[in-house]
């Protein structure tokens, strides 16, 4: 469930490198979003997220880098694109989620280390699960 | 670095050598420093000529041990070239660096407990799935192995194909040094070849029978006979032995079949 | 007619029950699935970052190999592979700068610009064979079999690569009808099964699959038909967990669309590898008298 966190908004934060990078990596215009919440409504994983998909966009454009980094939302996203195909503004939120994941992964910080996947799981999981999982969770 | 440099100045030697063997000197760069080297030397000999004492990064000097993986570039060419230092002869203006060792993740396993299932490789080397098919490994292989194809084969669960494609691998590690996905291809291939050799390749029936026959002592008396034979007689036997002719057919048999 | 065919890694191991019935069925329909020489893993997921080209190399390299094979259409069975290959192909068609960089890097001696058409086998059946013609070839109609068509994500999203209407897909339903089965509509047919989240949080997969499975059951499905080996894995795993957690939860067999195709074309259960399926579909199929050749049916060994 979405948690309530007090945040500080400032012009300095709005102009942060973080906001620029998210825009560049995702290729998305964050200002397109009018916060209708169709993304959250269609997200099959929203119930498990601490920050809802809609709020991720709002927080990203406000430059709330630390708050987003503390959240597990982007790691729960399965890139199923239910948000993207249902967005009335043609905004691709999955690309924003990927951009935020990459800001961590590109610092050479893995979200899942291959060696931490239990050996039995490595045998059981189909190859496409391993390939896609390691693409999304390792840098 | 695994090399040491002698104190003596190589330039003097170079002059002497030039007089003696009248070889043409060509410039090469070892780790960025320029040396004049007689042409025709291998990279390894050129390094020694320049004064390096190789205590690592050299082994068999015959192109099979994989200890002397080397990278080099020529001026004006963006392409990175690879070679085995003991095999490649120096070319003018080569910029050379050796990669005698490259850290690589090697799984620990009890081979007796493995099966021929593809999942054995997935279990021991899950990072296999980080391959992005960039092909840098293949480009870095001094043995001309289709490294990326062999990795593809492993991902597809085809251990036999990976083993066959990687047969010429000498474990130099240059593929690993270039891998975007941080894979240790050569260790994975070794596992594949082990599984292939032990569990996939059909056993040779005649070999099993022969080993059994030897064990049962069928040939003991012939050995005893040989042991008792005098040296002169042995030499004579050796010189007069019947040699299988070149391109003999499958059905060729020696005239003397007492020992078969 | 020979079609360039991209299997994907998983179809060579645990999802042989997706591939083998497809190859046999297409042969029965007069098509040869011709494997792309030296194909490599497509990368499974399409990279969503604008500046990330390295992860486009794998799918594009495969498309170049199709061109080298002398083909201009590529057929896939796995929904994941379809998605990745088709999106990468679109990128090569639309983005000139990225196309040039990728061609130069891949260095296969061919400049590729997206000329191969990437299709799913269901599209071949719909557009090249046709539902009417397909249903005429059916030897063993799957009468009385109530099946929920599950699309998952990657056949339909994003919009620009969808093989059917994104909101209201009918292709699997039409396919089932052509085979004589009864498709069971259910609202969760395009809801995500959890996908690669099974790698990082396997414990959450039941939460993704619960609404999908319950909805199909509630609408009267006896089995579910799939196109993707990861959906198969997650829905299978999810069922096992739900059977433990949720009282009264009934496990349901999962089938690949190609298995139903082979069965309806009268190719027998031998090519279907039902031993690899979740939820042993044999008993359901026997109950519907669809395993007439069951006496001669021996599970083909090979699985560990």
Query: Can you say how many angstroms the Cα of residue C47 is from the centroid of all Cα atoms in its chain?
Result: 20
Query: Are C148 and C101 contained in the same domain?
Result: no
List, for residues C114-157, the tens digit of each pLDDT value: 999 999 999 999 999 999 999 999 999 999 999 999 999 999 99
Closest Cα partner for C81 from C32, C128, C39? C39
Put the strands of the sheet holding C32-35 in their side by side order. Answer: C32-35, C2-6, C73-76, C117-120
For residue B14, give every residue at least 6 positions away whose Cβ sits within 8 Å of its Cβ, in sequence order, or none.
B25, B36, B37, B38, B49
Q: For residue B164, count other CB atoms closer than 10 A to its CB.
A: 15
Place of tokens 């130069």: C104
Element (H, E) at C209: helix C205-218
In a domain, C81, yes or no: yes
For B157-195, how does the pLDDT look when each residue is reduced to its tens digit (9 = 90+)? 999 999 999 999 999 999 999 999 999 999 999 999 999
Tokens (6 digits) for A106: 């590109």
The bridge status of strand B95-98 relative to strand B25-30 is: parallel
Residues of chain B neighbouring C43 (CB-CB closer than 8 A): 132-133
Q: Angle at the Cα of B147 (from B146 to B149), degrees rounded to 5? A: 70
Query: What CATH number has the domain spanning B3-98?
Result: 3.10.20.30
B130, B156, B157 ranked by CB distance to A138: nearest:
B130
Contacts of A135 in chain B (CB under 8 A): 130
Nearest Cα neighbor of C222 from C151, C140, C288 is: C288
Domain shared by C93 and C162, yes or no:
no
pLDDT value of position A1: 53
pLDDT reported for residue A2: 59
CA end-to-end span of chain A, whole Å? Answer: 28
Measured in degrees and rounded to the nearest 5, phi and psi for residue B115 equal -120, 180
Of all residues in chain B, the one with the smallest CA distance to C13 is: B157
Which of A117, A118, A123 should be substituted to probe chain B, the one whose Cβ sees the most B Cβ atoms within 10 Å? A123
Mean pLDDT, to the nearest integer, of B116-127?
97
Closest CA to C6 of C82, C80, C76: C76
Q: How far is C72 from C118, CA to CA, in rounded Å?
A: 9
Tell me whether residue C304 is in a domain: no
Segment (H or E) for A54: helix A53-61
Calculate how close chain C gets to B160, using CA atoms only, in Å: 13
Chains B–C, number of C-beta pairs less than 8 Å apart: 45
Q: How far apart are CA C16 and CA C187, in angstroms?
A: 29
What CATH number is attached to the domain comprising C88? Answer: 1.20.1050
What SS3 state is found at C74? strand
Residue C301, domain member (yes or no) = no
Query: How many whole angstroms separate alpha carbon B84 and alpha carbon C100?
Result: 33
CATH number of the structural domain A11-107: 1.10.1060.10
Min distance A102 CA to chain B CA atoms (Å)? 15
Say whether C12 and B134 touch across the interface (CB within 8 A): no
Residues B39/B26, Cβ–Cβ less than 8 Å:
yes
- Residue among C57, C246, A122 nearest B136 (CA): C57
Of residues B42, B40, B47, the one with CA closest to residue B21? B40
ipTM: 0.95
Task: Please count the residue pairs, one from chain A and one from chain C, whose beta carbons lie less than 8 angstroms apart.
Answer: 134
- With 0-12 CB in 10 A as exposed, 13-18 as middle and 19+ as buried, what is B251? exposed
Considering chain B, what is the average pLDDT of its residues? 92
> Is the minimum CB–CB distance between B156 and chain C shorter than 8 Å?
yes
C25-55 in b/e form (b: 16+ CB < 10 A) is: bbebbebebeebeebbbbbbbbbbbbeebeb
In terms of residue numbers, what domain contains C96?
Answer: 2-121
Q: Using a CB-CB distance cutoff of 8 angstroms, which residues of chain B are in contact with residue A113?
A: none
Tell me what percent of the residues of chain B surpass a pLDDT of 90.
Answer: 83
Question: From CA A84, how far away is CA A57, in angstroms rounded?
Answer: 13
Do B149 and C38 make contact, defined as CB atoms within 8 angstroms?
yes
User: Do A80 and C44 make contact, defined as CB atoms within 8 angstroms?
Assistant: no
Mean per-residue pLDDT, C29-50: 97
C210 close to B (CB below 8 A): no
CB atoms within 10 A of CB C4: 25
- Which tens digits make up the pLDDT trace of A27-63? 999 999 999 999 999 999 999 999 999 999 999 999 9
Q: How many domains does chain C have?
A: 2
The 3-state secondary structure of C33-57 reads EEECCCCCCCCCCCCCCCCCCHHHH
What tokens were used for B237?
Answer: 């036997």
Compare CB distances from B122 to A123, A133, A138 and report the shortest one's residue. A123
Q: pLDDT tens digits, residue range C147-190?
A: 999 999 999 999 999 999 999 999 999 999 999 999 999 999 99
Chain B residues closer than 8 Å to C12 by CB: 156-158
pLDDT at residue C2 in the model:
97
Which residues does chain A have within 8 Å of residue B123's beta carbon, measured at their own beta carbons?
119-120, 122-123
Residue of B115, B128, B132, B165 for testing the chain C interface, max C β-carbons within 10 Å: B132
pLDDT value at residue A8: 86
Residues C200 and C292 in one domain: yes
Alpha helices in B42-91 (DSSP H): 43-49
Whether residues C24 and C169 fall in one domain? no
Point out the domain boundary residue: C100, C121, C142.
Answer: C121
3-state secondary structure of B17: helix
With contacts defined as CB-CB under 8 Å, which chain A residues touch B119? 122-123
The two tokens of residue A126 are 């189909």
Cβ-based neighbour number of residue C9 at 10 Å: 30
Q: Give B218-258 pLDDT, tens digit per residue.
A: 999 999 999 999 999 999 999 999 999 988 888 898 988 88
pLDDT attached to residue C301: 46
What residues pair up with B89 in beta bridges, in sequence order?
A: B42
Cβ of C199 within 8 Å of Cβ of A112? The answer is yes
Give yes or no for A116 touching B (CB within 8 A): no
A 10 A CB-CB count for C72 gives 11
Residue C233 with chain A: CB contacts under 8 Å: 125-126, 129
Domain boundary among C101, C121, C141: C121
Widest Cα–Cα separation across chain C: 60
Q: Over the stretch B137-157, which tens digit does the pLDDT of each residue have?
A: 999 999 999 999 999 999 999
Shared-domain flag, residues C104 and C196: no
The Cβ-side half-sphere exposure at B56, using a 13 Å CA radius, reads 9
| Block residue for tokens 């001026």 | B75
Residue C211: CB atoms within 10 A of its CB come to 14
Where does residue B108 fall: left (phi above 0), alpha (psi -120 to 50 degrees), or beta otherwise? beta
C92 and C161, same structural domain? no
| pLDDT in the model for residue C287 | 94
Fold of B111-200: Fumarate Reductase Iron-sulfur Protein; Chain B, domain 2 (1.10.1060)
Residues C159 and C97 in one domain: no
Q: C303 in a domain, yes or no?
A: no
Other chains touching C, judged by 3 or more CB pairs under 8 Å: A, B
Cα–Cα distance for residue pair B98/B82, rounded to 1 Å: 10
pLDDT recorded at residue B48: 97
Checking DSSP bridges between strand B69-73 and strand B81-84, what pairing results, if any? antiparallel
Q: Which chain B residues are within 8 Å of C39, Cβ to Cβ?
A: 152
* Bridge-based pairing state of the strands B81-84 and B33-38: unpaired
Q: Kindly report the pTM of this predicted structure.
A: 0.90
Specify the residue for token string 């991209």. C6
Helix (H) and strand (E) counts for chain B?
11, 7
Question: Coil, helix or strand for B82?
Answer: strand
How would you classify residue B36: left for phi > 0, otherwise alpha for psi between -120 and 50, otherwise beta? beta
Average the pLDDT over C30-44 and give the result: 98
CB contact under 8 A, A130 and B122: yes
Closest alpha carbon within chain A to C8: A128
Percentage of residues in chain C with pLDDT exceeding 90?
93
Closest-CA residue in chain C for B116?
Answer: C304
Q: Return the SS3 of B125.
A: coil
CB contact B119 to C (< 8 Å): yes
C-alpha B240/C-alpha C225 separation (Å) is 76
Integer Cα distance of C65 and C90 in angstroms: 16
Q: Which residue of B has its CA nearest to A134?
A: B130
For the segment B89-106, the average pLDDT, to the nearest whole number, is 96
Closest chain B C-alpha to A15 CA, distance in angstroms: 33
CB pairs under 8 A between A and B: 35
- Domain with C261 in it: what CATH number? 3.40.50.11810
**Distance in angstroms (rounded) separating the CA atoms of residues C61 and C184:** 39
Task: Give a yes or no: residue C240 inside a domain.
Answer: yes
Test A131 with C200 for CB contact under 8 angstroms: no
Which residues of A fall within a CB distance of 8 Å from C51?
24-25
Query: Residue A2 carries which DSSP code?
Result: P
Q: Which one of A105, A111, A112, A114 makes the best mutation probe of the B interface by having the most chain B beta carbons within 10 Å?
A: A114
Is B133 within 8 Å of C58 when comparing Cβ atoms? yes
The residue ranges of DSSP E strands in chain B, in sequence order, are 3-5, 25-30, 33-38, 52-54, 69-73, 81-84, 95-98
Interface check for B158 against chain C (CB to CB < 8 A): the answer is: yes
Rounded distance between C-alpha atoms, residue B198 and residue C110, angstroms:
41
- Domain finish residue from C121, C156, C175: C121
Q: Give the burial class of B225: count Cβ atoms within 10 A of its Cβ; 0-12 exposed, 13-18 middle, 19 or more buried.
A: exposed
Mean pLDDT of A118-137: 97
Contacts of B134 in chain C (CB under 8 A): 54, 57, 105
pLDDT above 60: residue B114: yes
Break chain A into its structural domains and give their ranges: 11-107, 112-139
Query: In the block, which residue shows the tokens 């019947």?
Result: B242
**Chain A neighbors of C49, CB-CB under 8 A:** 25-26, 95, 98-99, 102
Per-residue pLDDT, C296: 45
Q: Are C33 and C3 in contact (CB under 8 A)?
A: yes
Please, what is the Cα angle at B147 between C229 and A126, to 5 degrees? 15
CB < 8 Å to A117, chain B: 126
């Amino acid at each position: 469930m979405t948690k309530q966190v007090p945040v500080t908004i400032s012009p300095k934060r709005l102009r942060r490198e973080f906001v620029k990078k998210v825009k560049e990596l995702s290729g998305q215009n964050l200002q397109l979003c009018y916060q209708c919440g169709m993304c959250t409504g269609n997200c099959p994983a929203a119930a498990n997220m601490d920050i809802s998909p809609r709020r991720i966009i709002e927080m990203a454009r406000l430059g709330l880098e630390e708050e987003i980094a503390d959240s597990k939302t982007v790691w729960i996203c399965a890139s199923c694109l239910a948000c993207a195909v249902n967005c009335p503004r043609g905004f691709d939120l999955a690309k924003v989620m990927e951009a935020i994941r990459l800001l961590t992964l590109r610092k050479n910080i893995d979200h899942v280390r291959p060696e931490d996947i239990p050996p039995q799981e490595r045998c059981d999981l189909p190859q496409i699960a391993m390939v896609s999982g390691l693409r999304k969770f390792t840098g | 670095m695994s090399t040491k440099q002698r104190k003596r100045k190589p330039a003097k030697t170079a002059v002497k050598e030039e007089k003696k063997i009248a070889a043409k000197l060509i410039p090469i760069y070892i780790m960025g420093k320029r040396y004049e080297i007689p042409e025709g030397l291998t990279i390894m000999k050129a390094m020694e000529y320049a004064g390096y004492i190789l205590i690592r990064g050299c082994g068999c000097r015959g192109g099979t041990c994989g200890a002397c993986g080397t990278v080099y570039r020529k001026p004006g060419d963006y392409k990175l070239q690879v070679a085995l230092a003991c095999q490649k002869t120096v070319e003018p203006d080569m910029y050379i660096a050796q990669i005698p060792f490259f850290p690589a993740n090697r799984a620990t396993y009890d081979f007796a407990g493995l099966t021929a299932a593809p999942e054995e490789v997935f279990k021991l080397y899950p990072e296999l799935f980080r391959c992005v098919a960039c092909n840098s490994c293949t480009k870095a292989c001094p043995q001309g192995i289709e490294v990326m194809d062999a990795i593809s084969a492993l991902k597809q669960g085809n251990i036999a194909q990976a083993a066959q494609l990687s047969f010429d691998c000498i474990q130099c590690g240059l593929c690993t040094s270039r891998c975007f996905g941080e894979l240790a291809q050569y260790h994975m291939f070794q596992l594949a070849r082990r599984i292939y050799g032990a569990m996939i390749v059909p056993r040779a029936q005649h070999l099993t029978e022969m080993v059994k026959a030897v064990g049962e002592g069928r040939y003991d008396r012939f050995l005893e006979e040989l042991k008792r034979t005098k040296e002169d007689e042995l030499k004579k036997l050796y010189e007069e032995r019947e040699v299988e002719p070149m391109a003999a057919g499958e059905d060729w048999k020696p005239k003397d079949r007492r020992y078969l | 007619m020979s079609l360039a065919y991209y299997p994907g890694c998983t179809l060579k191991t645990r999802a042989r029950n997706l591939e083998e019935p497809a190859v046999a069925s297409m042969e029965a329909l007069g098509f040869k699935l011709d494997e792309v020489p030296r194909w490599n893993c497509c990368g499974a997921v399409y990279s969503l970052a604008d500046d990330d080209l390295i992860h486009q190399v794998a799918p594009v390299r495969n498309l170049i190999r199709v061109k080298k094979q002398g083909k201009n259409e590529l057929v896939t069975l796995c929904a994941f592979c379809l998605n990745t290959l088709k999106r990468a192909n679109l990128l090569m068609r639309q983005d000139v700068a990225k196309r040039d960089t990728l061609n130069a890097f891949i260095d296969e001696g061919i400049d590729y610009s997206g000329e191969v058409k990437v299709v799913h086998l269901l599209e071949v059946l719909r557009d090249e064979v046709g539902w009417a013609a397909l249903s005429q070839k059916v030897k063993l109609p799957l009468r009385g079999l109530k099946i929920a068509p599950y699309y998952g994500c990657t056949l339909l999203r994003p919009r620009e690569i969808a093989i059917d209407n994104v909101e209201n897909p009918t292709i699997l339903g039409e396919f089932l009808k052509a085979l004589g089965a009864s498709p069971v509509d259910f609202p969760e047919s395009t809801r995500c099964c959890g996908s690669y989240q099974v790698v990082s949080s396997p414990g959450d997969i039941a939460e993704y699959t619960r609404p999908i499975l319950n909805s199909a059951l509630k609408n009267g499905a006896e089995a579910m038909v799939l196109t993707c080996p990861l959906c198969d894995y997650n829905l299978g795993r999810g069922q096992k967990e739900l059977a433990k957690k949720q009282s009264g939860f009934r496990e349901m067999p999962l089938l690949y669309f190609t298995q139903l195709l082979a069965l309806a074309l009268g190719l027998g259960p031998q090519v279907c590898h039902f031993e690899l399926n979740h939820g042993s579909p044999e008993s359901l199929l026997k109950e519907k008298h669809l395993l007439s050749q069951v006496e001669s049916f021996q599970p083909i060994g090979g699985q560990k």
